Structure 1
């Protein structure tokens, strides 16, 4: 008989991509969306549906940002994904026909890859053609997972004007309600970013719990902690556990048996190599071997379960009561960055209860009393240094200034437009120009752009996107402020063709100054 381990373990995944539709294809743009969708979202959904069919409940806490769910539901993106999957199938088929001295390994890889592409294409056309929200709603309804929400367009909230911060959060929660018929009571704050006092805004919006990184709780993540004078709980990521899987320098995905993310066959665009070794050049990588990879997965599943078991026991002993351990990751790690990730995830979720470990969501942990005494949190994030430097440092000072100027312009213009349209005792008509101004403003202040600049990851694209949305905001506001209403309407309609996400966004709900 398996001995029950004290406490509870929660796995939290954060699903996010910036708005990529209509904004380039390669090397950064829609291809990023379609790769993540095919390699991560499709297999992850397959795993969760299998487990749900076995009536397994409370498996994980899944954060879905409004901007990523908007893309998974968008007709343009759905069509693009369908074409991408068909193209993947054709590229795999091409690999099976290659001839030459060194082509046999690639041919065998192509045969396997063609089978995976065919499965994905059938899966997508059968289940996904009406978007991702209906599939997620089934899992939420079944109790398989807890949904975490977040503010529209993933802004770095501590640097955002309070009125726009409140608007983005409330609209983000409303967006989830429309898509899933569930309003999340927990959120993954973008970048786990926190500034003192934000808990008050969370409480007012109906948020009961949110994620922070471990150092925000001074490394003591064994319990959720009420923040300040509120009942809003902060749950901290346990870095000792989370870094076992993925860290800036190590983790399971770097094992030599796993598929190498960076090595391409330039004829087909497929990835036929394994990591082999950290210092092995791409041209010297060994062919991918599924049996070798599967054996590594089993080893890493057993290791992770043992890590969780030991951590729960040691933390429970340390605090003198059953402890709560949270491992948290970007969802895209599982499949996109780490090809074998979905396989590992399914096996872990099966193995943990078999080892006597209780698995539950953040909401379940709160309900079960895994909470401690109130805490005052410092300004923090899960970025480099665990502070705000990635989003407010010298290297992105120009973007910080751009964001402040654009937000000031947008708020002043929208306030003026709504005041002009108002009359005593009557609600003004919806103003689609004001809506689009706020939509482009929120896209301007997305946390992705300064992150990509600070990390020198497609920095040029990130700056282009920030300035593009800033330009859209400014030219609409200028037309509106100068009385050129017809021009403002034409501009808003044009920008909406590219950035028509969040159709229910309503500027009239912006808090008044």
Structure 2
């Protein structure tokens, strides 16, 4: 009989990137890479577990931007083309390396992998959301929501209507796509501020995730730390991230993804191949890029890319099995220790970005597969659960007030508010004020109704925490700046046109086609609470 719980939580999120106005935009490939390397492999893991009688339980957020992109016909068509190009390139690679045994072996391995991706893609009629929903319906997978566009709530709290709109629009979008209201929410960046739980309760949400110190520094101090959820005074539960299990996966020093047997992320055929050979498969302007075909392993700490040895999936898979065993062993010992102290079953909540598994850590889906199988067959110390099931079985918890927190650098808000991105907030705040003003209006006709709804979309898209995050990381900064500015400029034009009583219908139609997220949005979400 188990004496504790383990809850894996995956946060599946990408910013809304869709450019019908352009034939090619590099950033759209963020979605295509995640489909190939993360979302399809996870689906295949779930299918295999279900087929083999493993009653797995896992929690996974699927954010509204990600769901919208996965179900968008334009992006589905473009992904088809992207995958077809990779399949063609691999056929060439197999022929090109006829006398290079190990590279040919790897090319054939990738060709088989991409064939399986296509089979899964076509099995679900190009709608992966339908694939994940089947596991929600079987109660193996608990899908939770997030902010409508992953807005950073603590930096919006001076405008409660703006936070409410992020929550309300997300919950309505979830119900449209999954046929039921969400039970839980991954607070964007796990960022909590005191008072947001009232809005979560009003939206019908049952629980949220925050970082560990948001629970540890709650008032009064929780008796069981992060190893039990706490209830806020509104009745909404808060789960905190477990530092120990997170470190084993995330840490650059001791984390599993740094093992020498695993695939090297930064050495890619798009940069390695002869230029004329690879040119048809890189950017239209001739610039090189990652194509997702990688032949080398990490090999060793501190080595240059030129010193990397060839990758072998067989040994990488063996290492993933070892790491799954180690993770299971450590969780068993952790649960036994905590149960002895707490005298009640602890829950270890282990949340990660979903894209870590497969995209950044290629072997990550194998790790998850092995962990579920080993946990099912090889131990009885803990029970794997998802968060909704845990609350149903454990309805009594301590009542506390969580502490303001995030899972970012230093645990608070510094990563999203610093010298690289502080300039965006006066503009976002002014736009929020204006949208709250627009929320009180009654449209004179259908054109004004559409303009008001589009203004809400533009503000939501501008508020995405991804843009501030990218500015801070220093990668793809021009794109993040351009997106922030373009959404704010479109919002301000809509605001001015509405106040002047002359909405430009032709321009509005074009913007509706480009920024088409949330087709059922109602701008009245911004009305005073």
**What range is the shorter-chain TM-score in?**
over 0.9
Shift in Å, 1:430 = 7.8
Alignment partner of 1:156 is 2:152: yes
Residue in structure 2 matched with residue 275 of structure 1 by the alignment: 298
Quick check: 54-63 or 434-443, which moved more?
54-63
Contact 2:436 2:528 in 1 (8 A): no
TM-score norm. by structure 1 comes to 0.92
Alignment partner of 1:33 is 2:31: yes
Contact 2:168 2:525 in 1 (8 A): no
Cα distance, 1:393–1:469 mapped onto 2, change above 3 Å:
same
Residue in structure 2 matched with residue 46 of structure 1 by the alignment: 44
Stretches of 4+ aligned residues off by more than 6 angstroms: 23-27
Q: Report the 3-state secondary structure (helix = DSSP H, G, I; strand = E; otherwise coil) of the residue aligned with 1:257.
A: coil
Contact 2:56 2:372 in 1 (8 A): no
Contact 2:164 2:525 in 1 (8 A): no
Shift in Å, 1:393 = 2.6
Shift in Å, 1:151 = 2.3
2: CA distance, partners of 1:115 / 1:285: 24
Residue in structure 1 matched with residue 226 of structure 2 by the alignment: 221
Alignment partner of 1:393 is 2:418: yes
2: CA distance, partners of 1:376 / 1:388: 19
1: CA distance, partners of 2:90 / 2:368: 26
Alignment partner of 1:251 is 2:247: no
2: CA distance, partners of 1:27 / 1:421: 37
Contact 2:213 2:403 in 1 (8 A): no
- Map 1:280-319; keep pairs closer than 5 Å: 280-319=303-342
Q: Deviations over 1:100-159 (max 9, x none)?
A: 98x443222111111111111122122242x22222221111111111112211111122
Q: Deviations over 1:174-232 (max 9, x none)?
A: 111111112111110110111111111111111110001111112821100012x2211
1: CA distance, partners of 2:24 / 2:472: 21
Q: Deviations over 1:243-265 (max 9, x none)?
A: 11123544111111011111112
Alignment partner of 1:447 is 2:465: yes
Residue in structure 2 matched with residue 384 of structure 1 by the alignment: 409
Unaligned ranges ≥5, structure 1: 423-427
2: CA distance, partners of 1:290 / 1:420: 60
Quick check: 56-65 or 28-37, which moved more?
56-65
Residue in structure 2 matched with residue 20 of structure 1 by the alignment: 17
Shift in Å, 1:335 = 0.7
1: CA distance, partners of 2:350 / 2:23: 33
Contact 1:28 1:458 in 2 (8 A): no
Cα distance, 1:281–1:325 mapped onto 2, change above 3 Å:
same
1: CA distance, partners of 2:199 / 2:205: 9
Q: Report the 3-state secondary structure (helix = DSSP H, G, I; strand = E; otherwise coil) of the residue aligned with 1:395.
A: coil
Aligned residues: 498
TM-score norm. by structure 2 comes to 0.90
Residue in structure 1 matched with residue 131 of structure 2 by the alignment: 135
1: CA distance, partners of 2:411 / 2:524: 36
Which of 105, 115, 138 in structure 2 is aligned with 1:118? Answer: 115
Shift in Å, 1:57 = 4.0
Alignment partner of 1:10 is 2:7: yes
Unaligned ranges ≥5, structure 2: 218-224, 279-290
2: CA distance, partners of 1:412 / 1:139: 42
Shift in Å, 1:394 = 3.3
1: CA distance, partners of 2:180 / 2:306: 49
Residue in structure 1 matched with residue 359 of structure 2 by the alignment: 336
1: CA distance, partners of 2:387 / 2:482: 38
Quick check: 90-99 or 367-376, which moved more?
367-376
Cα distance, 1:25–1:230 mapped onto 2, change above 3 Å:
farther
Which of 81, 84, 96 in structure 1 is aligned with 2:82? Answer: 84
Shift in Å, 1:99 = 4.8
Shift in Å, 1:460 = 2.2
Shift in Å, 1:370 = 7.1
2: CA distance, partners of 1:166 / 1:6: 39
